[in-house]
Amino acid sequence: APSGCGKGTILAEVMKDEKFYYSVSATTRSPRPGETDGVNYHFLGREQFEELIKTGGMLEYAEYCGNYYGTPRDKVLEKINEGKNVILEIEVQGAMQLREKCPEAVFVFIAPPSVAELRNRLEKRGTETPEVINQRVSETAQEISFAYRYDYVVVNNILEDAVNDFISVIRAEELKAENQKNIIDEVLKNA
């Protein structure tokens, strides 16, 4: 989802369950007050980031509002192999790259209730200059048109509802027949 849609807040709730792993992205943007290197992002210089792109270290990456953002590949693969549900919190260009690379991934678009409300939230957060807020709001309006290419859309109006919607999506995915092979085999045992 675009920034300011409340992804962070929704995911903070979801991440309380240990079966999830939150992929920490790399970025060239500067840390906001309160952000910690290695926790919110791996904060890198442009050269470092470009080196990682060159050596295939990024599962996906994009340039967004003048900075690079990307998902370090190795950690994600390691956690998938451990059987975790890996969550990537990324913008649309990166999501579309992943759609090609990982067709089995599930794509959830988190939308703000309106563009006006998004602006309101960014202004309240107060971590960006008015110029950056304008840039992000117009970027978002464009991103929302990509929502149809996702599997699910969760509108973040009331936080608790959005969290429940997101958890429902994950549960629905778990219950898909194709993901229940072991359980079906178990049911059929000794038939």
Using the Cα atoms of residue 119, residue 91, residue 135 and residue 40 in order, give the sign of their dihedral. Answer: positive
Residue with smaller CB distance to ligand 5GP, 54 or 176: 54
Residue with smaller CB distance to ligand 5GP, 21 or 64: 64
Using the Cα atoms of residue 165, residue 171, residue 174 and residue 177 in order, give the sign of their dihedral. Answer: negative
Least distance in Å: CB of 94 to ligand 5GP?
Answer: 2
Least distance in Å: CB of 44 to ligand 5GP?
Answer: 11
**Which listed residue (6, 10, 21, 25) binds ligand 5GP by CB under 6 A?**
25
Residue with smaller CB distance to ligand 5GP, 101 or 181: 101
Number of CB atoms found within 10 A of residue 98's CB:
17
Least distance in Å: CB of 61 to ligand 5GP?
Answer: 6
Identity (one letter) of the amino acid at 77? L
- Could you tell me if 54 and 37 are in contact, meaning their C-beta atoms sit under 8 angstroms apart? no
Least distance in Å: CB of 95 to ligand 5GP?
Answer: 7
Strand partners, 69: 27, 62
Burial 75-86 (b: 16+ CB within 10 A, else e): ebeebeeeeeeb
- Could you tell me if 133 and 119 are in contact, meaning their C-beta atoms sit under 8 angstroms apart? yes
Residue with smaller CB distance to ligand 5GP, 6 or 94: 94
Least distance in Å: CB of 89 to ligand 5GP?
Answer: 5
Task: Find the binding residues for ligand 5GP in span 46-105 (CB under 6 A).
Answer: 60-62, 64, 69-71, 89-91, 93-94
Using Cβ positions, the residue closest to ligand 5GP within the complex turns out to be 94
Grouping H, G, I as helix, E, B as strand and the rest as coil, residue 117 is: helix
CA–CA distance, 58 with 69 (Å, rounded to integer): 10
Residue with smaller CB distance to ligand 5GP, 151 or 174: 151
Least distance in Å: CB of 104 to ligand 5GP?
Answer: 19
CA–CA distance, 50 with 36 (Å, rounded to integer): 22
Determine the angle formed by the axes of helices 7-14 and 159-175, rounding to 10 degrees. 60
- What is the contact surface with ligand 5GP in residues (CB under 6 A)? 2-3, 25, 29, 60-62, 64, 69-71, 89-91, 93-94
